[in-house]
Amino acid sequence: MTTLTRRRALHLAVAGAVAGPAVLRITRAHAAEFTLKAANNAPVSHPLTIYMTKAADAIREETGGKVEVKLFPNNQLGGDTDMLSQLRSGALELFTLSPLILATLVPAASISGVGFAWSSYDKLWPAMDGDLGAHVRAQIDKSGLYAFDRIWENGFRQTTSSSRPILKPEDFKGFKIRVPPSPMWTSMFKAFDAAPMTINFAEVYSALQTKIAEGQENPLTLIDTAKLYEVQKHLSKTNHMWDGFWLLSNGKIWRGLPQDVKTVVAKHFNAQAVEQRAETLKRNISTEQDLRGRGLAFHDVDTKAFQAKLQSAGFYKEWKGKFGDDAWALLEKHTGSIA
């Protein structure tokens, strides 16, 4: 394929989108033929950003600069809700998003986030890389988006607070907790009798600082890299949910790219996702000491009591009904009986 037709293919594919930044053309000896904007909600020091950058570097190198992935981390393009709109309209080519937030568009996607479903990564990764992930990706496809094969890691979520520590399920009663925009998160914290409020991650630090929300829940690496310890006092190891990030593209744009470009882009993003899982897991464990040192008080809790509360509040019945018996059976094939 000639440069000209490749350029034309991209222009067709990203019709309506802004062309690659002019600076590239001026400063690079060989201008990129394909410029793909990639965005996320994670700080620059978070492994999601670090390993997406590694993928972008590997893609640039293997294509001799013809394919440029330009990264916009840390909500530079807006919060998750905005970025999802940009992805759908074609203004953004690549975007990582929690399966549970994606569920606002693709309801089936939140199945990996069912509370207390996963007892180990030995069960989780084969499920997400295998038939459970394939089930979700097929639904994503139907929505007009494309999901790359390998999901990225966020981690098991823990609960933080600036007011009282959450030690038992009853402590959640009336607790003003920020949750991401997603039906399953709201449903889970209503089941705990908390007062969940939906806020995009881009606004979480200020919502905690101004005490609009008393608490939030996230894996340790995000609490650390987003400096949430500056505005929180307690961390309870509720371990209530696993969460990841699907790397998504706009389906039309993705299909419009030449096969050789797609192959290189997918190869490096999928490979770096697997590396990023290992690094994030390591940091989700090792960061505890750092966070303690920064003044966050850690509390171990009886997670079984929290799960029992979800059960008695009808959370599992509700979500099994929403996902349907077949999808639920697919989940439990990997997790074992959940509730």
Q: What residues make contact with ligand X2X under the rule CB under 6 A?
A: 41, 98, 101, 154, 180, 201, 218, 222, 243
Could you write out the three-class secondary structure of 123-177?
HHHHHHHCHHHHHHHHHHHHCCEEECCCCEEEEECEEEECCCCCCCHHHHCCCEE
Cβ closer to ligand X2X: 129 or 203? 203
Least CB distance from residue 101 to ligand X2X, whole Å? 6
Cβ closer to ligand X2X: 112 or 218? 218
Alpha helices in 74-120 (DSSP H): 80-89, 99-102
Cβ neighbours for 209, distance < 8 A, ≥ 6 positions apart: 230, 231
Is residue 218 within 8 A of residue 180, CB to CB? The reply is: no
Least CB distance from residue 25 to ligand X2X, whole Å? 34
Least CB distance from residue 83 to ligand X2X, whole Å? 11
Cβ closer to ligand X2X: 102 or 330? 102
Cβ closer to ligand X2X: 41 or 160? 41
Rounded distance between C-alpha atoms, residue 114 and residue 100, angstroms: 9
Q: What is each CA distance from 203 to 97, 102, 181, 272, 297, in whole angstroms?
A: 16, 18, 12, 28, 23
Q: What angle do CA 274, 277, 279 make, to 5 degrees?
A: 115
Least CB distance from residue 115 to ligand X2X, whole Å? 15
Cβ closer to ligand X2X: 184 or 266? 184
Cβ closer to ligand X2X: 34 or 172? 172
Listed as own residue / partner, the contacts of 191-195 with beta carbons closer than 8 Å and 24 or more positions apart are 191/309, 191/310, 191/313, 191/314, 191/315, 192/306, 192/309, 192/310, 192/313, 193/169, 193/313
Least CB distance from residue 100 to ligand X2X, whole Å? 7
Least CB distance from residue 107 to ligand X2X, whole Å? 16
Tokens 């600076």 — which residue? 23
Least CB distance from residue 150 to ligand X2X, whole Å? 17
Cβ closer to ligand X2X: 50 or 261? 50
